[in-house]
Chains A and B, each alone.
Chain A
Amino acid sequence: MAKIEINVRVNGVEHRAEVEPRLLLVHFLRESLRLTGTHIGCDTSHCGACTVVIDGRAVKSCTMFAAQVDGREILTVEGLERDGKLHPLQEGFFQEHGLQCGYCTPGMLMTGYAFLNGNTAPTEDEIRHAISGNLCRCTGYVNIVKAYQYAAARLREGGV
């Protein structure tokens, strides 16, 4: 099959690549760009470990073709830290013990990033609704919710 050219901005860096149309976005990120922070979990659109933010919206990168992101802007977990400083969400996961095995964490962070961009004063219900597409098999949801709340408080103070 003929390859197609895509131009995409990932974590602020422009990339030009020739991709097979069937290449999934998650494979493009992990294998072509070597950004392995984005995880492949279930590979069946259920678990959310592969969540990335495209033009401000959190989506599952295992359920999208790389060809679809031509001309778009992607943020992955590698792009959260700025100038050696953790994003308030990353800090929240650290402070509140928001991870055990850490497998779901990149997806949880990216969902949280998009969610808190639109709402820095969420209720617990809103947080639980927002993460309902991200599964944590350690079932550490209580602390994940706390981590979101920590980050929300920091963002309200003008953390980042």
Chain B
Amino acid sequence: MIPRGFEYFAPRALNEAVSLLQQLGPDAKILSGGQSLIPMMKLRLASPPYIVDINRIPDLNYVSEANGSLRIGALVRESDLEISPLVGSGYRLLADTTKVIADPLVRNQATVCGNLAHGDPANDHPATMLALEATIVAISPRGEREISIRDFFTGLFSTALQPDEILKEIRVPTPPPRSGGAYLKMERKVGDYATAGVAVQITLDEAGVCQRAGVGLTNVSFIPLKAAKVEDFLKGKPLDAAAIKQASEIAAAESQPMDDIRGSADYKRDLVRVLTARALKQAIDRAKGGA
């Protein structure tokens, strides 16, 4: 399978890339890891006339903590995140997620930021970033701006990014003490998209009452879904077995899956229920210092 022809640009600086995007207009596509874009181009589901390859831009490959948040640069590969001790110790939800994205070879090339910028509700990081309340930093000829993850996904394969904007960085707030998270994904085989996936991030107080809850759902709607009703339900409650059961039922009702080759809508809704309960249990264990 051979993509349609295109013109290729490989800028060496971020400002050069941004002005290229401005100059080429909305038909230009950014190439970072390319693990979603290139397959789409090969299938001719996408045939952009201009490709702006950002892989040669220096200083975009960093995972670091600063000013109360984890910063993930545009060129951080999934496998970088997978082996990052910082992520493994302080951001378990993120570590869980990266391990189940595609397969190890794809993860060596795919970028974390691209997983969001692609705007695919079947991707895994969107639900995770919704649960973690991440902030997106975009750069354009007009400068930098911050976008709340809540406002980022606007439709199927659509995001709040303007055609001349580049997703430069993801900022994930550093979880306070007594926080825990987990991502659970049901996939038919390694490398498949989720039949359903659930991301949970919670913070407990000293008495075990839920102070903060973030819940994101993968591939059960046209856009990555923030399960706001579940979040509201969990806040202020002691997370006992009854609360977990009720929360998982609310999540199932909040999901909007469709029948497809991965299963019927009913089956997927039930999966959301089961995975939410399991993810919550694991997140609570981790918030209490367990594995």
B5 touches A22 (CB 8 A): yes
The secondary structure that dominates the B interface is loop
Which residues of the other chain, B, contact A2 by a CB distance below 8 angstroms? Answer: 7
Interface size classification for chain B: 20 to 34
Nearest Cβ in chain A — how far from B40, in angstroms?
11
**Residue A153 interfacial (CB < 8 Å):** no
**Residue B34 interfacial (CB < 8 Å):** yes
A67 touches B191 (CB 8 A): no
**Residue A140 interfacial (CB < 8 Å):** no
Interface residues of A in 57-78 (CB under 8 A from B): 57-60, 62-65, 67-68, 70
A132 touches B55 (CB 8 A): no
Between A21, A67, A111, the greatest number of chain B beta carbons within 10 A of the residue's beta carbon is seen for A21
A63 touches B108 (CB 8 A): no
Which residues of the other chain, A, contact B4 by a CB distance below 8 angstroms? Answer: 22
B105 touches A60 (CB 8 A): yes
Please, how many angstroms separate the alpha-carbon atoms of A65 and B79 in the complex? 20
Tell me which of A27, A44, A46, A59 contacts B108 (CB under 8 A). A59
**Residue A86 interfacial (CB < 8 Å):** no
**Residue A51 interfacial (CB < 8 Å):** yes
Nearest Cβ in chain B — how far from A54, in angstroms?
9
**Residue A122 interfacial (CB < 8 Å):** no
Interface size classification for chain A: 20 to 34
**Per-residue A-contact encoding for B15-39, CB less than 8 Å = 1, 0 else:** 0000000000000000100110011
A21 touches B108 (CB 8 A): no
Nearest Cβ in chain B — how far from A155, in angstroms?
19
B191 touches A21 (CB 8 A): no
B5 touches A21 (CB 8 A): yes
Q: A1-B5, A1-B6 are in contact. Are A68 and B35 (CB under 8 A)?
A: no
B55 touches A68 (CB 8 A): yes
Which residues of the other chain, B, contact A149 by a CB distance below 8 angstroms? Answer: none
Please, how many angstroms separate the alpha-carbon atoms of A64 and B35 in the complex? 8
Please, how many angstroms separate the alpha-carbon atoms of A79 and B38 in the complex? 27
Chain A residues close to B by CB (< 8 Å)? 1-2, 4, 20-22, 24, 27, 43-46, 48, 51, 57-60, 62-65, 67-68, 70, 111, 129-130, 132-134
Given contacts A21-B6, A68-B55, A133-B191, 18 further A-B contacts (CB under 8 A): A20-B5, A22-B3, A44-B43, A45-B106, A48-B103, A58-B108, A59-B109, A60-B109, A62-B42, A63-B34, A63-B39, A64-B109, A65-B31, A70-B10, A132-B190, A132-B191, A133-B102, A133-B190
